[in-house]
Structure 1
Amino acid sequence: MNATAVATPAPACAAHRAGVELSVVVPFYNPGPALRPTIERLITCLTQTGITFEIIAVSDGSTDGSATTLTGLTAVTVLDNPTNQGKGAALHQGFATATGAWIGFIDADGDIDPQHLADYLTIARTGGHAVVYADKRHTHSVSGATRTRKLISLTYSTLVSTLFGLDIRDTQTGCKIIRRDVLQQILPRLRERRFAFDLELFVAATTAGITDLKAAPVRLETRTAGSTVSTTSIIRTLRDTLTIHRRRRAHHYAAYALAA
């Protein structure tokens, strides 16, 4: 197991390694017993579909010992950080070591079946899409989320639509596949360290002229692990969302698009 502190976001992913089709980054914070079954399910799904892969599991300062439950799993690199800095920070760290032609990420708590990643990779390849992302408002999606979580999600997506005008109904569901060259193009401009990371990814991509973003159905199971949605996290995400809006108005992402 590697013990590594989260560093300043790397300007790009690691060099592509021939033969690795998909890198999956799994950020986690105190997921308890849900972590290992999620990773094992991910390994099974990708192996059965014949995808060559690597898994990078990043502990964002977990204190429940969950990182040690992954001992012995092949094709899994564990980065165990001593302090909690946020989902976005963990993703940045995972991306910095990812070597696949495609790079995906998924939540660790088990409410999203890892089979979706294999399905999304197929959609991305056959359709030539730059990004395929889970959309819980898709016609064929099924959600076991509580009414409260659904209301929070709808309210936030409405706010995002009003502020950014994105043609994306769901920026936040934690399952996405990104083509390597696309992530390399936008990663240097991504600054968010917590839950607003997903939103910033879409803002940076669309500002850079990347428009082939494909929404895909997702099945969300009833969450069994403790929820990370709290009043504090909601307030912080709203604050970070407004920060992204200010960055866009200051042409932070547009300047990158012109330089790319």
Structure 2
Amino acid sequence: MSVDFKKLSIVIPAYNEGPTIHLILDRIKTVELPNGIEKELIIVNDCSKDNTEESILKYKEENPELNIQYYKHEVNKGKGAALHTGIEKATGEYLIIQDADLEYDPQEYHLVLKPVLTGDADVVYGSRFMGGNPHRILFFWHSIGNKMLTFLSNMLTNLNLTDMETCYKLFRTDMVQGLKLKEKRFGFEPEVTAKIARIPKIRIYEVGISYYGRTFEEGKKINWKDGFRAIYCIVKYNIFSK
């Protein structure tokens, strides 16, 4: 049975993304969602030290036809905390997470939405490690680390994801708003996966997406310390914390 809904909330955490935030907003602007679904853009500025705020406010003023909701943290709290704020403010029936850089292509929202629109899914992950879409070739150990984290997460959640750490996660909004999320940095990914997996009769799907990764010189922020934190969170939220 197909599912019709009216609004998709696009939650965008932003920290020091002044040079690219307008570019990703341009890409989102051109996306035409199926069935006339409205876009709600929720941008959370995590106390950036560059011109991120100026870029967002200028874009919002120049594009009044877009439904842009802007929020700002007065102190830097981390990506997870920015996502908490965005999830709390979302009013669409479904929401998707979108990074403020250019690593993920908003034109692929339709790929992530498809299992929802066909009535099959409550949650959809966009995997960088499946399908035949373009992938920039970058860090060997980073990809190995992602796969190891996904493997460990799968062992404890009993899911068979290929990319737990992906940015593109689509949730039924009421479902993810009902979770008590705590992780303020990159531990958000394993925590939300562990807690979503425990929801009775949850229907989780995964689809292949493209990936245009960037280097650390280009602004990539995650590092090896975040990897160790992710391992801690996988164990914590699957074994010691419900």
TM-score normalised by length of structure 1: 0.79
Q: Kindly provide the CA deviation profile for residues 152-182 of structure 1, in whole angstroms up to 9, marking residues without a partner as x.
A: 2122222323444322221111012111232
Work out which of the residue numbers 151, 160, 168 in structure 2 matches 1:158.
Answer: 151
Shift of 1:141: 4.3
Structure 2 partner of 1:202: 193
Give the alignment of 1:214-229 within 5 angstroms.
214-223=205-214, 225-229=218-222
| Counterpart residue identity of residue 213, structure 1 | I
Does 2:67 correspond to 1:67?
Answer: no
Unpaired runs of at least 5, structure 1: 1-18, 253-260
Please give the secondary structure, in 2, of the residue aligned with 1:133. strand
Write out aligned runs for 1:1-260 (5 A): 20-46=6-32, 50-71=36-57, 72=61, 73=63, 74-146=66-138, 147-185=140-178, 187=179, 189-223=180-214, 225-248=218-241, 252=242
Give the C-alpha shift of residue 94 in structure 1.
Answer: 0.7
Map Cα deviations across residues 105-158 of structure 1 (whole Å, 9 max, x no partner): 111111100112233223311143101111122233442141232122122222
- CA positional deviation for 1:235: 2.9
* Distance in 2 separating the partners of 1:108 and 1:126: 28
For 2:201 and 2:109, locate their aligned partners in 1 and report how far apart those are by CA, in whole Å.
21
Displacement of 1:192: 1.8
What is the root-mean-square deviation in Å for CA atoms of aligned residues?
2.2
| 1:212-249 per-position Cα deviation (integer Å, ceiling 9, x unaligned) | 1110111001316311122332333333333223434x
Amino acid at match of 2:95: I
Secondary structure at 2:9's aligned position in 1? strand
- Output one character per residue of 1:58-107: Cα deviation in whole Å (capped at 9) or x when no partner: 11221111121122243111212122212211111011111111111111
Instruction: Give unpaired runs (5+ residues) of structure 2.
Output: none
Larger mean CA deviation between 55-64 and 138-147 belongs to 138-147
- Tell which deviates more after alignment, 74-83 or 116-125: 116-125
Distance in 2, Cα, partners of 1:20 & 1:91: 22
Percent sequence identity is: 27
**Residues in 2 aligned to 1:223 and 1:158: alpha-carbon distance in whole angstroms:** 24
Q: Report Cα offsets for 1:3-27 as digits up to 9, x if no partner.
A: xxxxxxxxxxxxxxxx851111001
1:10-57 deviation digits (Å, cap 9, x = unpaired): xxxxxxxxx851111001211231111101211211468732121001
Aligned residues of 1:30 and 1:62 also touching (Cα < 8 A) = yes
Seen in structure 2, the aligned counterparts of structure 1 residues 141 and 78 have a Cα distance that, compared at 3 Å, is same
Query: Secondary structure of the equivalent of 2:41?
Result: strand
Measured against aligned partners, the alpha-carbon deviations of 1:178-215 in whole angstroms (never above 9, x if no partner) come to 11232244x2x322222121222221122122431110
How many residues are treated as equivalent by the alignment?
A: 229
CA distance in 2, matches of 1:145, 1:66: 28
> What is the TM-score with the length of structure 2 in the denominator?
0.84
Aligned with 2:31: secondary structure? helix
Q: Report the residue type matching 2:212 in the other structure.
A: E
